[in-house]
């Protein structure tokens, strides 16, 4: 990468997000701490409600459903998944997140990149 302030090349460890001016002597390695991995990969199916931070999505310009209605919808999706439905297919069809195009796949992310409650849940799940 090139520094915007100095115009000089610097090197960024994509796992730790640490940068350095000197070229690394070995490839970056994913760190695993005693508290678990530094990155996780998640998929989700987001159902927004009128009280959401941004009550709109790629599917609906203005979301008017209540929080209770959103929970009922999610509960129905959960039951469908438990009965063999595909999260990927449900997310593509119904998720209010732009990740719907990828079947709800959020890809790899590290700590501090998502909202705290979501991050805590994602990093505490057993695979």
Q: Which pTM was predicted? A: 0.66
Q: Which two tokens stand for residue 57?
A: 């999505």
Q: Which two tokens stand for residue 27?
A: 């490839």
Dist CA 77 CA 79 (whole Å): 5
Q: Is the pLDDT of residue 14 over 80?
A: no
- Reference 112, options 61, 40, 54; nearest CA is 40
Q: How is the chain split into domains, by residue range?
A: 1-30, 31-124
How high is the pLDDT of residue 3?
82
CATH topology of domain 31-124: Chitinase A; domain 3 (3.10.50)
Any idea which residue has 């460890």 for tokens?
13
- State whether residue 110 is helix, strand or coil: strand
Q: Are 13 and 100 in contact (CB under 8 A)?
A: no
**How many other C-beta atoms lie within 10 A of the C-beta of residue 48?**
20
Average of per-residue pLDDT values in the chain? 89
How high is the pLDDT of residue 36?
65
Q: Which two tokens stand for residue 66?
A: 């209540």
Q: Which two tokens stand for residue 45?
A: 């199916």
Q: pLDDT, tens digit, for every residue of 44-102?
A: 999 999 999 999 998 889 999 999 999 999 999 999 999 999 999 999 999 999 999 99
């Amino acid at each position: 990468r090139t520094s915007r302030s100095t115009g000089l090349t610097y090197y960024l460890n994509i796992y730790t997000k640490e940068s350095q001016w000197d070229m690394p002597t070995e490839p970056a390695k994913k760190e695993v701490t005693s508290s678990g991995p530094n990155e996780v990969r998640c998929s989700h199916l987001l159902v927004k409600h009128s009280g959401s931070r941004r009550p709109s999505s790629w599917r609906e310009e203005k979301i008017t459903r209540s929080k209770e209605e959103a929970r009922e919808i999610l509960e129905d999706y959960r039951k469908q998944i438990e009965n063999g439905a595909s999260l990927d297919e449900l997310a593509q069809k119904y998720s209010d997140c732009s990740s719907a195009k990828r079947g709800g796949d959020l890809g790899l992310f590290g700590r501090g990149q998502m909202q705290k409650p979501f991050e805590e849940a994602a990093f505490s799940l057993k695979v």
